[in-house]
Amino acid sequence: MSDFQPVRDACDFAGGVTALAKRLGLPPQVIHNWAAGKRPVPVIRCVEIEELTGGAVTRKQLRPDDWHQIWPELRGSD
């Protein structure tokens, strides 16, 4: 799988992988797996990342294939 830019953007915003992991209460390896595209970002973490980044990284960006099923209220926003 390819690198997942929104997660890397969130890491940059937070000050790095370790900083993002610490703010989310997760091991850095979990963040690495998301950033490498090995695992999808869990739904609950998408909301946390969106809030943590002040909307710089959105739920839609973190779940591009299924955000409309998870958060239908976001349809038409942008």
pLDDT digit string (tens) for 13-69? 999 999 999 999 999 999 999 999 999 999 999 999 999 999 999 999 999 999 999
Q: 14 near 20, Cβ under 8 Å? A: yes
Nearest to 67 by CA among 41, 48, 34, 39: 41
At residue 2, the pLDDT reads 57
| The model's pTM | 0.90
Residue-range domains of the chain with CATH: 5-72 (1.10.260.40)
Distance (Å, whole) CA 7 – CA 49: 9
Distance (Å, whole) CA 25 – CA 33: 15
At residue 77, the pLDDT reads 73
At residue 1, the pLDDT reads 46
